[in-house]
C-alpha cells in the first residue's frame, strides 16, 4: 500500500474516532458529570466531619457478653426512628452493622436514608444519622432509580453501569488514538 493511501486510511480512522469521542461525550455529558461529582464526594466521605458519612459514636463496652440481645436492640432502634424522625417511616432493615470495638450497633433502614446508632450494652440512643453517603452511592451507580421505582433485580443499575463502563472504555480507546494517531502519521510522513 502506498504512503498516501496509508495516510488517508489513518486520517479516516482518526476522523471516525474523533466523531465517536465527541458524540459519546456530548450524549453522556450529564451522566459523566454526575459520576465524577458523586465519585469525588464518596472519596471524601470519611473526611467531612460526619456530613456525608455519619461519624461512629462510642458505646460503653466492647464485651459482647454484656450487650443486650440483638432483637431488643432492633426494637429500640425502630422505636427511636419512629419517635425521633417520623412514625410513617418503614422499619424494613437493610443491614445491621455491629461495631464491637466501638461498643455500638448501627441499624440502617432499607426504604429511606436514616440510620440509628445504639449503645450495645444499654440500648441508649447515641445518634440518629442521615445517611447521605448511601444516597450519593446510589446516585453514583444509578441504583437511585431502582430505589425510587422499586425495580426488581436492580435492572436500571445494571444497564446504567454497563453503558457508562462501555462509554468510558470507548473514551479511553478513542482518546488514546486521538493523541497517538497524529504522532504515527507525522512519523510515517517523516520516514518518506
State the average pLDDT over residues 147-170: 94
125 in the same domain as 61? yes
- Backbone φ and ψ for 121, nearest 5 degrees, come out as -85, -50
Query: What CA–CA distances, in Å, run from 20 to 6, 24, 168?
Result: 21, 6, 12
Which residue segment(s) compose the domain that 115 sits in? 54-130
* Helices and strands in the chain: count of H runs, count of E runs: 6, 4
Burial tier of 166 (Cβ tally within 10 Å: 0-12, 13-18, 19+): exposed
Contact between residue 133 and residue 147 where contact means Cβ atoms under 8 Å apart = no
Contact between residue 113 and residue 127 where contact means Cβ atoms under 8 Å apart = no
pTM, rounded to two decimals: 0.82
159 in the same domain as 141? yes
Q: Average pLDDT, whole number, for the chain?
A: 92
Percent over 70 (pLDDT), the chain:
98
Contact between residue 188 and residue 7 where contact means Cβ atoms under 8 Å apart = yes
- Backbone φ and ψ for 33, nearest 5 degrees, come out as -65, -45
The total number of structural domains in the chain stands at 2
62 in the same domain as 7? no
Render pLDDT for 41-75 as a digit per residue (tens, 0 to 9).
999 999 999 999 999 999 999 999 999 999 999 99
Amino acid at each position: 500500500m502506498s504512503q498516501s493511501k496509508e495516510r488517508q486510511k489513518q486520517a479516516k480512522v482518526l476522523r471516525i474516532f474523533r466523531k465517536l469521542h465527541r458524540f459519546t461525550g456530548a450524549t453522556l455529558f450529564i451522566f459523566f458529570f454526575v459520576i465524577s461529582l458523586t465519585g469525588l464526594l464518596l472519596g471524601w466521605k470519611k473526611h467531612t466531619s460526619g456530613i456525608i458519612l455519619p461519624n461512629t459514636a462510642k458505646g460503653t463496652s466492647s464485651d459482647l457478653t454484656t450487650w443486650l440481645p440483638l432483637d431488643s436492640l432492633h426494637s429500640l432502634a425502630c422505636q427511636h426512628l419512629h419517635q425521633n424522625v417520623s412514625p410513617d417511616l418503614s422499619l424494613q432493615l437493610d443491614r445491621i452493622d455491629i461495631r464491637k470495638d466501638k461498643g455500638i450497633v448501627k441499624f440502617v433502614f432499607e426504604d429511606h436514608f436514616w440510620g440509628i446508632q445504639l449503645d450495645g450494652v444499654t440500648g441508649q440512643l447515641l445518634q440518629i444519622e442521615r445517611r447521605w453517603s448511601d444516597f450519593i452511592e446510589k446516585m453514583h451507580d444509578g441504583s437511585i432509580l431502582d430505589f425510587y421505582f422499586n425495580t426488581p433485580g436492580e435492572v436500571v443499575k445494571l444497564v446504567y453501569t454497563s453503558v457508562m463502563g462501555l462509554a468510558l472504555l470507548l473514551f479511553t480507546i478513542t482518546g488514546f488514538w486521538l493523541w497517538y494517531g497524529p504522532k504515527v502519521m507525522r512519523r510515517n510522513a517523516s520516514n518518506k
